[in-house]
A and B are shown apart, each in its own frame.
Chain A
Amino acid sequence: MRVSDVTVVLQRIEAGDEAASADLLPLVYAELRRLARSRMRSEAAGHTLQPTALVHEAYLRLIGPEESAISGGWDGRGHFFAAAAEAMRRILIESARRRRSLKRGGDRDRRALGDPPEQEEDIDRLLDTDAALRKLESQDPDLAKLVELRFFAGLTVEEVAAALDLSPRTVKRRWAFARAWLGRELGSD
């Protein structure tokens, strides 16, 4: 994929082309998948996949510091990160499910040498969070989007605020509620 693809889509979105949003997700998803795979391969030894870093890296790779200035800075970034957060969530969930089934199914030979040790707890936590987040989505899709940006793309309050066009204070308060709500849903007391 070429860098310009994403930039073009972002420019279309900013120009008011609603349909363009639909084109963004697959592009970002593909790039994140590619990055995640290459990272997991090259870093299998000693390093773990770090979604937040990946999202930011994908941003730099797809849009780049120079291009982002041209294509309107935060407006474009907001759309990008929204897509990236969703893509990252999907990738992580897919990967968690795959790892879960691998564990049940075997393929033990390939694990014998140097594969990263399983992080059972992380997988559980991820799948549970995803399920809880889906419930939240059914109540308040906007709030779920906010959680996605914070949790899966690792954006700061300020960045989320810019991406969703809210005030940082609102973001902070809404995040506090979502966090508490999800915590209760996860029943981790």
Chain B
Amino acid sequence: MSHRASTTPRPNVAPGRAQFVDEMSIFLRAVDIELPGERAAFLAEVCGEDAALRSAIARLLKEHDREDHPLDRPIVRPDEADRSAEEFSGEATLRFAPPDVGETVGPYRLREKIGEGGFGLVYVADQLYPVRRRVALKIMRPGTETGETTARFEAERQALALMDHPNIARVFDAGATETGQQYFAMELVRGVALTAFCDGARLDVRGRLDLFVSICNAVQHAHQKGVVHRDLKPSNVLVTLQDGRPVPKVIDFGIVKAVGPKLTDQTIYTGFRAMVGTPAYMSPEQAEMSSEEVDTRSDVYSLGVLLYELLTGSTPFAGDRLREAGLIEFRRILLEEEPPRPSTRFSTLRMDLATTAAAHRRLEPARLASALRGDLDWVVMKALEKARGRRYPTAAALGEDVTRYIEGMPVEARPPSTAYRFSKFARRHKAVLGTATIVAAALVIGAGVSVWQAANARIAEGQARAAETLARAAESQARRSEAEADRSRDELEEFVDRLRRATDLLGKARALADAGDRAAALKAHDQATEAQPRYFLVWSERGLFFARLGLWDRAAADFARARDLGAPATGAEFLGVPQLFIYTNRSTEYREVARAMAAAEGRYEQTELRGRLAGPLSRSEAARLAVAAERLIEDDRSEDDRSDAGPESFDRRGRIPDGVKRYIAGWAYLRAGEPDRAIVRLEQAAADRRWYGYGIVSPLLALAYAEAGRPQAAAEAFEVAERTLDGYLADAAERAEGVPPMPWFDWVEFLLFHRTAVARFGSDRDDLEERLEALRRRTLDGLE
């Protein structure tokens, strides 16, 4: 507030309307001038002798450029848990105000918008300084995890600077505007997307393969510099004509990694379609979104898709359908379905499409099919192997094999052996094979035995016929599996439709629940489960809905179902679920989840820590969890000074409040048989009023005192626990939801601890279950 005390007259203490209008017009003209020197000159000129006006404008401009402007912060810090509402209203996108043409971003003036994608907008822009040149400027939509994105962004821009290859668009600069929008300035490539170019220029197969080899070399160059593209697709390979020769340029190298949101299961919730960008070109391991780092072989897969499309005119799995598919189905297709070989794909294309595709390649359809059959088929299929170990190890190896094909040399890729093919076939058609194999085996064994037995010509003839029958059976089997593939494509379409409906219903259910209309929310949830019962989210969301109402059994049943369908056991969505399984005596489900959590060793967050602490645990395991919890406390300290977050259950970065960490550590010590240490942490946790569930510590503390041989303190703490419970029950009775105002997982943990404490200390209370049951009945009535 320093300037209030200054002697400069404040122009807006009692400003006339004229002054206000002047200020606005000068300000608006001044902000159009980017160069600081020119701006100052302009101000000097318009303000003349009027020092007061000049300083008033200067302060406006200073405010204008301020990064931490009070009006930029939302009125109340949006909460992680409120994301559903945010999405529902589309607010996530509201924050991103795309700049207009004519504006400047950093040292770039925008000229023309040339593209828009899930990650941001692309403009043609003029760089104003230090050099003047025209560039392609990619402005990113702000991600949700800004801190992390920035770090990745920084790391990646270093790598990008190292790339220098004629077939890679150069990245000149990367930076962020004062409002935090990140941008990349890239070599402006006036080209056409790869496939469009090839079809438009009616490039023959040879011409296409030549282009493809150049692309492989470019990708190889980037890989050697440690940059993986992650989003290779025709629109990221632009073709220009240089001296009449087509030259491909790969754009957007490494940008997905630099600014793309991390692909996690959570992202299905925050706009799966936008995140994955182009599913048709995605490798199975990218689709799996496992913790396995995506590597260069993922690009090899995408190159395989590119080659497939260059040859046949379509991607191995129809792109538009994949794009619309839900995560689960999308993964299933990429991980399990074998794409048709290019030659097969081509011969099964609809006649009109086949003719177009052939015309684009300047070949008769029949000749194109035969050009594809054989070696080229195997090259493509090797690049498209599900297991990356079976793919070409490098982009260069793929390019070399294509070159071998061009030169008429034998290729490295081989048709898979019969045994290999059969094993794959068996995997895909387990059920069908059950009977088919038995029949076939009977025939073969029968035949073998007969040959061995007799030299009778008539029998031999019969065997020949049997062998023929077998061959025919195999052939029709193969035909049937193609028909099946077609059918599964139709099913996919149906699936996608249902998925879309389910997603809409989930959004609606959340909004209704937030608005307090629980009966209608439940109805929407039920409809979502009917619309797409194979989608785990419909179950876990309904489970969450029930859990928030304290309807534990229903919640647990839904979460169990979600887990069966592949819901990830780690991550914030499952916080509290294992505890719920324990509380509702679902030990089988608990064990399964706990195993999955234990497998995530080393990346412990509170979902895993609290989940595992609630169940059966050895002391040494508990001690390890205590170490992990202590580490969380440490992390927090190191972050304290740049903490911009108030006390909250979760802030946007998903940080856990200190009180919760101490509570987890205390709990872990108790389980590890170290009650004294437990008491230290639990007392700290109970004294910390900055988390909502601090009351839940009391029964745990009572147990810790008892364990430490302090019966007096234990009795007192248990007394507090009982009083806390009374308070919670009174709160719950007052609220329509029938639960106290705290996160549902805190409440279920409290009930768990309380149950344990009662078993230990005894209680004169005999109406707890009844009262909880009454609350549940009331809630259920409200849902009718």
Contact = CB atoms under 8 A, between A and B. Distances in A.
Interface string B360-392: 000000000000000000000000000000000
Interface string A64-100: 0000000000000000000000000000100000000
B12 to A, nearest CB: 7
B82 A50 contact: yes
A45 B576 CA distance: 15
Interface string B1-36: 111100000001001010010011001100100000
Contact of B79 (A47, A115, A169, A183): A47
B509 to A, nearest CB: 13
B693 interface: yes
A117 B515 contact: no
Interface stretch (B61-69, B194-202, B776-784): B61-69
Interface in B48-100: 56, 59-64, 66, 69-79, 81-82, 85-86, 88-91, 93-94, 97, 100
Interface residues of A, number: 63
A51 B76 contact: yes
A88 to B, nearest CB: 9
Interface stretch (A8-16, A17-25, A171-179): A171-179
A184 B63 contact: yes
Contacts of B77: 48, 119, 122
B92 to A, nearest CB: 11
B406 interface: no
B70 A172 contact: no
Contact of A114 (B3, B27, B73, B741): B741
B692 A45 contact: yes
A46 B85 contact: no
Contacts of A157: 97
A173 B647 CA distance: 36
B428 interface: no
B66 A114 contact: no
Contacts of A172: 97, 100
A176 B28 CA distance: 8
A151 B75 CA distance: 8
A155 interface: yes
Interface stretch (B533-541, B668-676, B730-738): B730-738
A29 interface: no
Contact of B516 (A42, A147, A169): A42
B88 A113 contact: no
Nearest to B724: A113
Contacts of B91: 52-53, 56, 154
B650 interface: yes
A114 B693 contact: yes
Contacts of A169: 100
A187 B43 CA distance: 22
Specify which of A122, A169, A179, A184 lies most central, judged by the most chain B CB atoms within 10 Å of its CB. Answer: A184
A39 B515 contact: yes
A189 B515 CA distance: 39
B134 interface: no
A180 B100 contact: no
Nearest to A96: B75
B15 to A, nearest CB: 7
B743 A46 contact: yes
A174 B231 CA distance: 39
Contacts of A126: 75
A180 B12 CA distance: 13
A47 B81 contact: yes
Contacts of B514: 39, 42-43, 57
Contacts, number: 193
B76 A49 contact: yes
Nearest to B94: A156
B115 interface: no
Contact of B97 (A51, A117, A156): A156
Specify which of A39, A41, A45, A156 lies most central, judged by the most chain B CB atoms within 10 Å of its CB. Answer: A45
B695 interface: yes
A131 interface: no
A167 to B, nearest CB: 10
A155 B74 contact: no
Nearest to A179: B71
A48 B692 contact: no
Interface in B715-738: 724, 727-728, 731, 735-737
Interface residues of B, number: 70
A187 B1 contact: yes
B3 A189 contact: yes
Contact of A38 (B17, B79, B515, B727): B515
Contact of B12 (A35, A117, A147, A184): A184
B379 to A, nearest CB: 48
B742 A181 contact: no
A6 interface: no
Interface in B500-528: 511, 514-516
B76 A119 contact: yes
Contacts of A52: 74-75, 86, 89, 91, 94
Contacts of B480: none
A139 B17 CA distance: 6
Contacts of A55: 89
A173 to B, nearest CB: 6
A176 B63 CA distance: 10
A61 B692 contact: no
Contacts of B27: 176-177, 180
Given A155-B94, A183-B70, A38 B516 contact: yes
Contact of A189 (B28, B62, B692): B62
A125 B90 CA distance: 25
Given A42-B736, A156-B97, A173 B743 contact: no
B511 A57 contact: yes
Given A48-B79, A179-B64, A187 B3 contact: yes
A116 B79 CA distance: 13
A5 interface: no
Contacts of B2: 189
A53 B741 contact: no
A188 interface: yes
A63 B73 CA distance: 28
Given A53-B91, A57-B89, A183-B63, A117 B690 contact: yes
A32 B97 CA distance: 26
Interface in B527-551: none
Nearest to A51: B75
A44 interface: yes
Nearest to A183: B63
Contacts of A44: 741
Nearest to B15: A139
Contact of B728 (A41, A92, A113, A152): A113
Contacts of B24: 177
Given A50-B85, A52-B94, A189-B62, A122 B737 contact: no
Given A57-B511, A154-B94, A46 B71 contact: no
A103 interface: no
Specify which of A117, A128, A186 lies most central, judged by the most chain B CB atoms within 10 Å of its CB. Answer: A117
16 contacts: A45-B742, A48-B648, A50-B85, A52-B74, A52-B94, A113-B695, A114-B740, A117-B648, A119-B646, A125-B70, A156-B97, A172-B100, A176-B31, A179-B69, A180-B27, A184-B56
Given A42-B736, A119-B646, 17 more contacts: A35-B515, A39-B514, A41-B516, A47-B81, A52-B91, A57-B89, A117-B690, A122-B646, A156-B93, A156-B97, A177-B24, A177-B60, A180-B60, A180-B64, A181-B12, A183-B69, A187-B1
Closest 6 A-B residue pairs measured CB to CB? A56-B89, A183-B63, A53-B85, A38-B516, A46-B649, A44-B741
